[in-house]
């Protein structure tokens, strides 16, 4: 079951969106209808709520919750232009801006409006951004003209939704290894050298991979957030634990997502007791830990896809991340700027750049759950390229 947002804009075809909502609900999806004021001139919001079996005001901001798919049907010429420009002046356009996942639009308009270079340019912009189109189709329009401008039929839209959503469960049967959190390196029995990683990003990745049907093992280093229920959890509090478990689990994995902040240095001599306070300085020698990704790169990869993360500060971060991609033999590196206080460490949101060997993609600021979906979209694509 997926969560599908159905955005309905003003047009006579709005009544066909009722049928789409009914079909999606019947297919077992959770459907959230969202209407523009223009749409409400054609069909009452109450009709959609009844078909979607949702109560008015049940969730205060249903359009801002994570969703698998946004369908805009019918999508008027006006809304198409707003989507291309990034305007957010009603529930549907706001939703489109907040939604980082799959989007399907079903344009519906007078054939001359569809053929206009302005509309064609808007459609091109959206396609380049990864938005999927269904129709418009050729036929008679409501105003009695003939040409390309009719909305695709609800059954066709359902078929397209199913295809898009299927693409998101392409991890079924795959083994996924995720590392999350920040390691703590003991100084003595109670003190440690650690870092600020909460584990949110890795946990979001593990949850998303499990939702897509992956068999997920989560190596957890001192998580500050609850682990997802449907994953195998292995506690790896120190860099040495994480190294050992990663190297043990990776050979069976199809995909490795190395989101943990692994200590680069650990105290060379940890005390087994608690060091008493004596007024003297305490000098600690730190020794380097093993770089787990580098160690992994020395194992035979056998088609496995490995994704690393790079915590960078300031300009030049992307270039350093590209070097890490090479040095650590990664297939993809997820770069985030940890010098910013509003995203990244400790924050529920992130803003990243995905750097692969042949392409790069910036993912705008979004909740970590949506960032996780974008990372997995890319990782799954690489996995399928390699393993079919
Ligand atoms: N990593 C690792 N083993 C370590 C340190 C880091 O496998 N001992 C992994 C992290 O999980 C992450 C990636 O390497 O996926 C990048 O980590 P980062 O700390 O950003 O980069 P470093 O390679 O450690 O380089 P530097 O700290 O100099 O930027």
Q: What is the CATH number of the domain that holds 275?
A: 3.40.50.10300
- 307 and 232 together in one domain: yes
Instruction: Give which of 86, 124, 379 is closest to 254, Cα–Cα.
Output: 379
Specify the CATH number for the domain of residue 148.
Answer: 3.40.50.1950
- 197 and 314 together in one domain: yes
Burial class (CB in 10 A: 0-12, 13-18, 19+), 147: middle
Q: Which of 320, 324, 338 to mutate to test the pocket of ligand 1 (most atoms within 8 A of CB)?
A: 324
Of 133, 167, 201, which residue is a domain's last?
A: 167
Domain with 350 in it: 175-387
Characterize the bridge pairing of strands 215-221 and 232-235. parallel
For the chain, the domain total comes to 2
Which residues surround ligand 1 with Cβ inside 6 Å?
A: 239, 258, 260, 262, 264, 289, 291-293, 308-311, 324
CB-CB neighbours of 250 under 10 Å:
21
- 90 and 110 together in one domain: yes
- 232 and 132 together in one domain: no
First to last CA, the chain: 25
pLDDT per residue, tens digit, the chain (388 aa), is 889 999 999 999 999 999 999 999 999 999 999 999 999 999 999 999 999 987 655 566 767 778 999 999 999 999 999 999 999 999 999 999 999 888 999 999 999 999 999 999 999 999 888 788 898 988 887 778 888 999 999 999 998 899 888 876 688 889 999 999 999 999 999 999 999 999 999 999 999 898 788 999 999 999 999 998 889 999 999 999 999 999 999 999 999 999 999 999 999 999 999 999 999 999 999 999 999 999 999 998 889 999 999 988 878 888 999 999 999 999 999 998 877 777 666 677 888 999 999 889 888 888 788 889 889 989 998 998 887 7
- 9 and 129 together in one domain: yes
Strand partners, 235: 220
- 99 and 210 together in one domain: no
- 240 and 275 together in one domain: yes
Q: Is 195 among the residues known to form the active site?
A: yes
- 150 and 237 together in one domain: no
Cis amide prior to 165 (ω within 30 degrees): no
Tell me how far the alpha carbon of residue 310 lies from the centroid of ligand 1, in angstroms.
Answer: 7
Of 115, 148, 167, which residue is a domain's last?
A: 167
Of 150, 167, 184, which residue is a domain's last?
A: 167
pTM: 0.67
- 293 and 245 together in one domain: yes
């Amino acid at each position: 079951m997926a969560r599908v947002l159905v955005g309905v804009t003003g047009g006579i075809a709005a009544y066909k969106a009722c049928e789409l909502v009914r079909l999606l609900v019947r297919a077992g999806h959770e459907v959230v209808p969202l209407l523009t004021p223009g749409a409400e001139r054609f069909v009452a919001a109450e009709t959609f709520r009844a078909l979607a079996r949702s109560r008015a005001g049940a969730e205060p901001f249903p359009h801002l919750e994570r969703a698998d798919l946004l369908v805009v049907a019918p999508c008027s010429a006006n809304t198409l232009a707003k989507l291309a420009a990034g305007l957010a002046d009603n529930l549907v356009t706001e939703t489109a801006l907040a939604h980082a996942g799959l989007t399907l639009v079903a344009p519906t308009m007078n054939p001359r409006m569809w053929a206009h270079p302005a509309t064609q340019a808007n459609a091109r912009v959206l396609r380049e951004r990864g938005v999927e189109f269904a129709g418009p189709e050729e036929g008679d329009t409501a105003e009695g003209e003939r040409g390309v401008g009719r909305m695709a039929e609800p059954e066709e839209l359902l078929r397209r939704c199913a295809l898009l959503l299927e693409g998101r469960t392409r991890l079924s049967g795959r083994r996924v290894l995720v590392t999350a959190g920040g390691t703590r390196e003991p100084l003595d029995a109670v003190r440690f050298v650690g870092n600020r990683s909460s584990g949110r990003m890795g946990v979001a990745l593990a949850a998303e991979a499990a939702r897509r049907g992956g068999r997920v093992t989560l190596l957890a280093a001192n998580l500050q957030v609850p682990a997802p229920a449907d994953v195998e959890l292995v506690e790896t509090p120190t860099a040495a634990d994480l190294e050992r478990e990663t190297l043990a689990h990776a050979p069976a994995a199809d995909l490795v997502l190395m989101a943990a902040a692994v200590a680069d240095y650990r105290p060379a001599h940890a005390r087994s007791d608690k060091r008493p306070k004596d007024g003297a300085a305490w000098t600690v020698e730190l020794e380097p830990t093993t770089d787990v990704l580098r160690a992994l790169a020395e194992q035979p990869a056998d088609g496995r896809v490995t994704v690393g993360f790079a915590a960078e500060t300031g300009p030049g971060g992307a270039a350093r991340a590209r070097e890490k991609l090479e040095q650590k033999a990664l297939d993809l590196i997820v770069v985030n700027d940890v010098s910013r206080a509003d995203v990244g460490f400790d924050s529920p949101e992130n803003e990243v750049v995905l750097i692969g060997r042949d392409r790069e993609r910036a993912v705008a600021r979004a909740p970590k759950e949506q960032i996780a979906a974008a990372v997995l979209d890319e990782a799954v694509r690489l996995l399928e390229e390699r393993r079919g």
